[in-house]
Structure 1
Amino acid sequence: MKDFILNNYSLIYRIFIGASAFFGLVTYKKYKTTNVRYFIFFLVYIFSFELLAGYPSALHDNPSLSHIKAFLKGTKFERNFWVYNLFWNLLSTLFLSFYYHKIIKIKPYKAVVKWAAIIFLAAAIVYLTFNFDEFFNRSVVFIKIMALIVILLNIVLYFIEILRGDKILTFYRSFNFYASAALLIWWLVTTPVVFYQIYYSTADLNFIKLRAQIFIFANIFMYSTFTFALLWSKPENN
């Protein structure tokens, strides 16, 4: 079973991502008047960029696309690190800040979420200005850590707001609670792996397998939680 998962981990976790996006669209009518509709759009967005991120494998496995592979060979776009750095580490963090700014109601907390996102974006732009090649060659650790801090801050403020209000009585039927818990666990589990990205090479099969296992199970957990939450939760008034 382990070998099967490792050999097909890209396909497996994209199936789970696709399932969460699919059930998001299926349940859209239930949530169309709530802020959860934005999260459903987010799931569709994630599924779309995950398909885009698979272009190196698609080019490798399809001889008919060899001319495109040859065109990209030796360029910054030969590998797909830029896809995850842009669409996940940067844009997804900004979207989640937007989402938490929507669902958090306490004004000082909303201001913190807003300014944290602005500082994150400014810091990322300054860092990439001086380390532009890193954006295309590996996962940018600085941005990853900044993203973790911003998302942790958003989630903690959301949980504090729940504890301070009446939502604590119905949190178990709240989509935002389950989504926040899943995001928190995913970022805490996967971020440390980035520190060891420099060891990612075909010469170290143990690290490759460990990294793949961490990400596949973290992704399965997170997107399964999103799917469960969409089906189980009750719509909340904005």
Structure 2
Amino acid sequence: MDNYDVLFHYFELAAALAGSYYWLKTKEDAVRPFVWYLWMTVFIETVSMYTYLYSYFDTPLINWIESSIISSNTWLYNIYDFISLILIGMFMIRNTNKDFSHRIIKIIVLIGSVLKVIYFSISGDFFIMSLPYNLAVQTFALFIMFLLYLRELIQSEQILNFYKSHVFYISLGITLWYICLTPLFIFDSYYNAVNENFIVFRGLFLDTFNILLYSCYTFAFLYSLRHKKQLAMS
């Protein structure tokens, strides 16, 4: 584990704490699925670090894990991807109003979830690898959800105050993250021990965008809460 990994976890935790603080102050049910998503991210990222223990400890338990089917933390991230799509879908449904948007989001979540279950049931690769083109599928799904949210935002009076909405910053941030990261993982076949330059670039690029993303989440909650407090005082 390097310093960037530790720093990244602090940004994840900060975003989860900011989301929790926002919810405690506003009691908005619409934000709860995303707060759950943030805390799940912190939990999964923390637990998945068990693979680092292989280099530091030589105990029967660690040796057993290293030689078992869960030696790689891929299975954790497969669970994470599955639940993430559901929670983000719930978040977008609660922050859109039209039945059309709700139906499309539910269809996207259902298709994405069913595809993952079918693939891993047939392939048996749940503990070995993620769903092929998973990031591209997630990008498409989130992009459609964001467009549905923007469509309703543009058609409503809330467009005048969009810059005060945490939903806008969260939706924009996560959509841009997926769009920017997808090309990187398309060239993931170059990610091997031989191509050291790509390894360094990939790690730096990913860490930078992760920090920016979770900084965006933290900003979204605190900035929106600030405007709500000002509105309540006026």
Correspondence list, 1:153-232, <5 A: 153-232=144-223
SS of residue paired to 1:223: helix
Which shifted more, 14-23 or 200-209?
A: 200-209
Deviation per CA, 1:11-62: give whole Å up to 9, x if none: 111111011112223333223134123322221121111101111013433x
Correspondence list, 1:66-105, <5 A: 66-87=59-80, 89-105=81-97
Q: Check 1:229–1:182 CA distance in 2 against 1; reply closer, same or farther (3 A cut).
A: same
Q: Check 1:191–1:141 CA distance in 2 against 1; reply closer, same or farther (3 A cut).
A: farther
Question: Are 1:60 and 1:69, in contact at CA under 8 Å, matched by a contact in 2?
Answer: no
Question: Are 2:53 and 2:62, in contact at CA under 8 Å, matched by a contact in 1?
Answer: no
Which runs of 5 or more residues in structure 1 are unaligned? 1-5
Normalising by structure 1, report the TM-score.
0.87
Tell me how far 1:108 sits from its aligned partner: 0.8
Partners of 1:141 and 1:16 lie apart in 2 by 28
Point out which structure has higher relative CO (alpha carbons under 8 A, 6+ apart).
Answer: 1
Q: Aligned match of 1:129 in 121, 144, 147?
A: 121
Question: Are 2:33 and 2:91, in contact at CA under 8 Å, matched by a contact in 1?
Answer: yes
Q: How many residues align?
A: 226
Deviation per CA, 1:149-170: give whole Å up to 9, x if none: 2111111110111111111011
Normalising by structure 2, report the TM-score.
0.89
Partners of 2:175 and 2:152 lie apart in 1 by 16
Partners of 1:78 and 1:196 lie apart in 2 by 25
Correspondence list, 1:5-154, <5 A: 7-61=2-56, 63=57, 66-87=59-80, 89-133=81-125, 135-154=126-145
Tell me how far 1:204 sits from its aligned partner: 2.0
Question: Are 1:59 and 1:66, in contact at CA under 8 Å, matched by a contact in 2?
Answer: no
Which runs of 5 or more residues in structure 2 are unaligned? 229-234
SS of residue paired to 2:59: helix
Q: Check 1:120–1:182 CA distance in 2 against 1; reply closer, same or farther (3 A cut).
A: same
Deviation per CA, 1:89-129: give whole Å up to 9, x if none: 22101111111111110111111111111111111112222
Q: Check 1:195–1:76 CA distance in 2 against 1; reply closer, same or farther (3 A cut).
A: farther
SS of residue paired to 1:141: coil
Instruction: Give, as a single letter, the amino acid of the residue that structure 1 aligns with 2:118.
Output: V
